[in-house]
Amino acid sequence: MTSRNIRSKSMIVVAVVAVIVIALDQWTKNWAITTMRPRMAADGEGPINLAGTWLRLVYVENTGAAFSLGTGVTWVFSLIAVIVIIVIIRTATRLGSIWWAVALGGLLGGATGNLIDRLTRAPGVGRGYVVDFIQLPYWPVFNVADMCVVGSAILMVALTLFGVAYKGAAAPVAATQ
């Protein structure tokens, strides 16, 4: 298989993974808005406990970033997401590894999913809140896009540690003395 064919397949994998992540993220956020927001109201039924208090579904409008940091500068996170998306798309044209394509597709889908929220939700374009609804103990509430961003980052670290270059060839291993 030529390197051009591998690059083409890698770009397709990035796009397919990203579209799946975006669709799943937006669908689950819509579910959280229609199902969980009413439950979390003062007269609602409250969270859904899937595994006691170890895994709960709630509804949170996150106006910040991870751990709700930076609530007053949401537009900065929108700008960062746009830059990340552009870098991923440019990098995808040079990929030769399907595993890197999966990782970058997950990162692209997650960044785009949360950017869609920031662009379309109140209080306005680029400053909107992100819908979060999955809660673990001692951890901030998160969503599918967040899971994909973190999962993709972990996969990228693993690929780097195992010497898988994003262009597809194994990274050179230093000779031992």
How many Cα atoms within 13 Å fall on the side-chain side of residue 169? 6
* Annotated catalytic residue, options 25, 43, 117, 146: 146
The DSSP call for residue 88 is H
Please state, in angstroms and rounded to a whole number, the distance separating the CA atoms of residues 110 and 155: 14
132 is catalytic: yes
* Contact predicate 64/74, CB 8 Å: yes
Nearest to 65 by CA among 153, 149, 151, 156: 149
Whether omega for the bond prior to residue 123 falls within 30 degrees of 0, making it cis, is yes
Which amino acid belongs to residue 146?
Answer: D
Tokens, residue 117:
């929220």
Tokens, residue 17:
């993974």
Tokens, residue 15:
């796009």
25 is catalytic: no
Q: Which positions are catalytic?
A: 132, 146
